[in-house]
Structure 1
Amino acid sequence: MSFSDSLLHHSATELAALIQQRKFTSTAIVSFYLARIEALNPSVNALVQVCADTALADAWAVDRAIAQGEYGGVLQGVPFTVKDVFDTRGVVSAAGLVDRAHYCPQHDAVAVTRMKAAGAILLGKSNCPPGGGGGVTDNPVYGATRNPHALSHGPGGSSGGEAAAVAAGLSPLGLGSDSGGSLRIPAHFCGVSTLKPTTGRVPNTGVFDHPGGLSDSRSQIGPMARHVEDLDLVFRVIAGEDGHDCGVIPMPLPDMPPQALNGLRVAWYSEGGIEPIDTCTQVTLQVAADLLAGAGAVVRQAFPSALRNARDITERYWAMGKGSGAQAIQLLSDWDQFRSAMLGFMADYDIILCPVDAAPAPLLGTARPGLFSHTLPYSLAGWPCVVVRAGTADSGLPVGVQIVARAWHEHLALGAAMAIERALPFAR
C-alpha cells in the first residue's frame, strides 16, 4: 500500500494516533489533502475556501510540538473542513449568499473553536445552498457541487459540499448542520457516514441562521466522516454547553458505542406510507437488518404510525409566522403529541433502522418530490440519527441507511452503524 493509499484508508482517529506516535507528520497529511484538493476540487466544487497557508503553518507547529514532547488534544494535527454556514475567524463565510460573499468573521463558531482546541486543523470550507438550507447544493456565489461518485448527479443538501468533500477524499472529516435531513441526505447520496446528535447536544452558536433555543428546536450540527468511529470522536469534542445557546441541555455524554449488539431491540421498516422507496433501497435495508440480526440484535419489522403526521407538522411549523397565535399553540400541542407517540413506540425498541431517502442521488440540479420525508420526522422528535453506507445501486451510486435512537442514546445508533460498517467492506 502506497503512502497516499494508506492515508485515505486510515480514519481520522487512526491518523491522530499515528501523528502522536510520530509515524506520520501532520505536515505530510495536510500536504496530501491539499494536493487532492488541487487535483479534484475543480471538478467536484465541494470546497469554496481552502486555507492552505494557515493549515500548513498549523501542521508545522503541531509537528514541532510533538518533536518536543508536547501532545495536544485527541485530534492533534488532523485536518478537517466545515460547511460554509459556520463562522470561521479570518476566513470568508458566505453561506452561499451574494450579500455575504466578502463576510469575514472575527470569531469561530463554538464547534469550530472546540475542534481547534482538540488539535484539529481547519483545511477549508464546503459549499451549501443559499443561506445553508435546501436539498440542492448550488448558489449564485460558488455554483453547483457535484457528486464524486457520478459528476452528472448532485450530492444533495444542504450539507452537500461537506459530504462531497469527504467522499472525494478532500478531507477526512468535517462539520455540517441538519434541520430536517441536511446532514443525512448528502451522506446517503455521497456514501459517507454522519451523525445528527440529539437536539440540544451541540451549541449552534456561530452558525448562520441557527440561533439555537426554542426558535431553532429542530436544528443540530454534527460530524461527517468516511469512518463511523470518527463520528463518535468528533461528537464528544463538540458536545456540551457553551453558556450562550440556551437550547443546549447539560446532559452527560453517553457510554461508548457497544461492540456487541446482543439483545439490542431493533425496529425496521422499508414501507409505511411516508414516501415509497425504490428496489435497491429496500434490498439494502433488508441486508442491514439481516446484518444486525446476525450480530445478535433482536430485529422486528415495525412502523411508528405517528410518522405519517410529521410532514403536516413541519409544513405548519414553516408557516407559523404567517398564522395566528391560536394556530401556533395548536401546532405546538400537535408536535408534543407526535413526540409522545414516538416515545410510546420506542418503549419496545432501542433503535430504528429505516430509509434515508426514497432512492440514490438524483441528477445534478434536481430534487425529488418528497425529499426529506424519511428524515424530517426524526428532526421533529429531536432524536439522534446515524447514516452509514450499506449498499450500492445498479448505477454504482451508494445507498445508505438511517439508524435512529432515543434522545441522548447516540451510542446505540453508532454501535449499530459500526456493526454494519465492519461487515461491509465498501463502508470503509
Structure 2
Amino acid sequence: MTDLHYLTATQLAKKIRDKELSCLELLEIYLDRVSRHNPVLNAIIVLDEQGARARAHEADQALAHADIWGPLHGVPMTIKESFNVAGQPTTWGVPTLKDNIALGDALAVTRMKAAGVTLFGKTNVPFMLADWQSFNEIYGTTNNPWDITRTPGGSSGGAAAALAAGMTGIEAGSDIGASIRNPAHYSGVFGHKPTMGILPTTGHALPGKNVPADISVIGPLARGANDLEIATLAMAGVDGRNARGLTLKLPSSRKKHLKDFKVGVLLEDENCAQDGDLTDQLQAKIEHLARRGVQIDDKARPVADTKRAHLIYLMLLRAATATRLSDDALEMHRNRAFASDPDDFSYKAIVDRAVTMSHTEWLVWNEKRELLCREWAAFFDSYDLLLTPIAASAAFPHNQAGERADRTILVNNTPEPEVDQLFWAGLPSAVFLPATCAPAGLTRSGLPCGLQIIGSHMSDLTTIHFARLM
C-alpha cells in the first residue's frame, strides 16, 4: 500500500469499492501520516479521530451490504476551518472566536458527507481569511510541504498543505481573493473557484452573518481534476427558498480534446510584476500545450483596460470585506479616505474609499462591473478559455511582520508589493467567472506552480476538463 496517501480521491474511492482496502484502514493511513508530518507542517489544526473512526466503520458496514453512499464513499476528508462542523470550533483565525462551537454542519459539509466522505479534521487559515499566508494567534503558522520556510498560501493554506503532504484525501476551501487558487499554486495541487453562487455558502460565515458576501465562493481542492469535478457537483445546487422553483444543471464541456480548444494567454500585465522563474515555467507549459494541439493566441485580451478592471475589483472586494471590520477600524478608514488626495490610487487609499463608500457609490461600481462582464462575454464568443498565472511568483518565504498591505515579496530579486498579486485573483473573481488551478510543473528553484484556467459563466466543467487534459 505504498504511497496510497498520494492517490486522488477518485482512485481511493475505487479501491474501497473494489474492496482492496477498508474505509477504516484508509482512515488509519491518513491519521498515521498526520501524526508523523503535521507537527512540522501544522496544516490540520482540529482532529476528530473518534468520530471519524465511527464514520469509517459505518461506511464499511454499508459497503458490506452493497450500500454505496456516493462517489467518494469512505474517502477521508479535511475541510477549511471556516466551515461549520457540528461540535467543532469555527474561528476564522480570530482569537475572540476561539470558543465559537458550531451547532450544525455547513451545507457543503452535509453534501460532501452525502457524497460519502469521512470527515476527520479541519485545516488552518489566516486571521479573518485575509492573507496569502496561513497563520493566526490560535493555531500558529502552517508551512509549505515543499519548503517549510515558505507559505503554502492562504487563506486555504492548511487545506493545500494537507493535500500536498498526503495527509488527507480531498479538501474544500473558500475564495474571494484567490484563497483556493493561490494555495493550490504554491503547494502543487488542484483547486477550483466556481462560478459565483452555484455552490451555496450556507454555514461558511462569521457569526451573525446570513447574507452571502459579494464575490466570495466556496470550492474544492484536490490532487486530481476528476476529484474537483466530483466535489464541485456534490456541493453545487440551489438551496433555501430558491430551491422551490430553481434547479442547477452545469453543462459538460463541449470540447473533448486539447486540439479542440482555442485559448487566449496572458502571462504578464502592467498591474503586477512577474518573476521570470515562474513566467518561464508557465511559458514552457503553454508551449507544451501548443505542441499537443491547443490553439494558442497570446495577443488575446478579455478586457480593453486591465488597470480599470483591477480597480473595479479592488473597490468591490474591499467593500465586500468591510463587514469584517470593527467600528473603530471603519472610522479610521473613513477619516483617511476623507483626508486623501483624490488622485491617490495606492492600495491603501483604495481600501479606505472602498470600505466606507455609500450604497449609491457601490451601485456605480457594480454598474462598471456589469460592463466588464459584457467585455468578458464578448471575449468568450471567440475563445474557449483564458490561461493566466495565479500569482507573481512561486511560494514566497514566511513574512508576518506588520500589515499585509505594507509587505513585499521578491520578484526578480526586487521587492514588490505583495498585494499587487490580487490582480490575477480579480480577473475572474470580479465578474463571477469560474477558474481552475492546475499544476504546471516546477520552477527552476524546484517549487511547484499552477496555471489559472478561466472560463465563461457556468463553464465550470469545461475549465476542470481542460485541467484534466493538461
- TM-score over 0.5 for the pair: yes
Aligned to 1:349: 383
Aligned to 2:311: 312
SS of 2:259's equivalent in the other structure is: coil
Question: After alignment, is 90-99 or 144-153 more displaced?
Answer: 90-99
Tell me if structure 1 keeps the 8 A contact 2:436–2:463: yes
Residues 139-159 of structure 1: per-residue CA shift (max 9 Å, x gap): 110111111100011112111
> In 2, Cα distance between the equivalents of 1:69 and 1:419?
33
Residues 45-98 of structure 1: per-residue CA shift (max 9 Å, x gap): 101101111111111111122123222211110011111100001122222111
Question: After alignment, is 130-139 or 377-386 more displaced?
Answer: 130-139
Tell me if structure 1 keeps the 8 A contact 2:93–2:136: yes
> In 2, Cα distance between the equivalents of 1:154 and 1:203?
28
Residues 350-400 of structure 1: per-residue CA shift (max 9 Å, x gap): 101111111001111356421322111210011111111112122211111
Alpha-carbon shift at residue 22 of structure 1 (Å): 0.9
Q: Which AA in structure 1 matches 2:223?
A: R
For the pair 1:338 / 2:372, whether they are aligned, the reply is: yes
Q: Which AA in structure 2 matches 1:308?
A: K
For the pair 1:223 / 2:220, whether they are aligned, the reply is: yes
Q: Which AA in structure 1 matches 2:457?
A: A
Question: After alignment, is 197-206 or 265-274 more displaced?
Answer: 265-274
Listed as ranges, the matches of 1:11-410 within 5 Å are 11-209=8-206, 216-243=213-240, 250-255=247-252, 259-301=256-298, 302-304=300-302, 305-317=304-316, 318=318, 319-365=353-399, 368=409, 369=417, 370-410=420-460
Residues 182-220 of structure 1: per-residue CA shift (max 9 Å, x gap): 10011111111101111111000000249676x623011
Residues 212-245 of structure 1: per-residue CA shift (max 9 Å, x gap): 76x6230110000111111011111000011168
TM-score, length basis structure 1: 0.92
Aligned to 2:322: none
Distance change in 2, residues 1:63/1:57 (3 Å): same
TM-score, length basis structure 2: 0.84
SS of 1:90's equivalent in the other structure is: coil
Tell me if structure 2 keeps the 8 A contact 1:356–1:400: yes
Aligned to 1:418: 468
Tell me if structure 1 keeps the 8 A contact 2:255–2:261: no
> In 2, Cα distance between the equivalents of 1:312 and 1:256?
32
Report the aligned-residue RMSD.
2.0
Distance change in 2, residues 1:105/1:353 (3 Å): same
> In 2, Cα distance between the equivalents of 1:323 and 1:225?
38
Distance change in 2, residues 1:379/1:249 (3 Å): farther
Question: After alignment, is 361-370 or 144-153 more displaced?
Answer: 361-370
SS of 1:353's equivalent in the other structure is: strand
The answer for unaligned runs of 5 or more in structure 2 is: 319-352, 401-406, 410-416
User: What is the percent sequence identity of the aligned residues?
Assistant: 32
Alpha-carbon shift at residue 344 of structure 1 (Å): 1.9
Tell me if structure 2 keeps the 8 A contact 1:203–1:212: no
> In 1, Cα distance between the equivalents of 2:5 and 2:378?
43
Alpha-carbon shift at residue 171 of structure 1 (Å): 0.6
SS of 1:374's equivalent in the other structure is: helix
Of structures 1 and 2, the larger Rg is shown by 2
Question: After alignment, is 268-277 or 378-387 more displaced?
Answer: 268-277
Aligned to 2:336: none
SS of 1:381's equivalent in the other structure is: coil
Q: Which AA in structure 1 matches 2:152?
A: P
Tell me if structure 2 keeps the 8 A contact 1:138–1:365: no
Tell me if structure 1 keeps the 8 A contact 2:142–2:158: yes
SS of 1:216's equivalent in the other structure is: coil
Q: Which AA in structure 1 matches 2:443?
A: A
The answer for unaligned runs of 5 or more in structure 1 is: 421-428
Tell me if structure 1 keeps the 8 A contact 2:40–2:143: yes
> In 2, Cα distance between the equivalents of 1:245 and 1:90?
28
Q: Which AA in structure 2 matches 1:72?
A: W
SS of 1:313's equivalent in the other structure is: helix
Tell me if structure 2 keeps the 8 A contact 1:274–1:374: no
Tell me if structure 2 keeps the 8 A contact 1:154–1:364: yes
Count, aligned residues? 415
Distance change in 2, residues 1:106/1:197 (3 Å): same
Aligned to 1:424: none
Tell me if structure 2 keeps the 8 A contact 1:266–1:299: yes
SS of 2:218's equivalent in the other structure is: strand
Tell me if structure 2 keeps the 8 A contact 1:288–1:390: yes
Tell me if structure 2 keeps the 8 A contact 1:85–1:131: no
Question: After alignment, is 196-205 or 125-134 more displaced?
Answer: 125-134
SS of 2:231's equivalent in the other structure is: helix
> In 2, Cα distance between the equivalents of 1:99 and 1:404?
37
> In 1, Cα distance between the equivalents of 2:64 and 2:186?
41
Alpha-carbon shift at residue 256 of structure 1 (Å): 5.7
Q: Which AA in structure 2 matches 1:4?
A: T
Tell me if structure 2 keeps the 8 A contact 1:306–1:338: no
Q: Which AA in structure 1 matches 2:309?
A: A
Aligned to 1:4: 2
Distance change in 2, residues 1:35/1:309 (3 Å): same
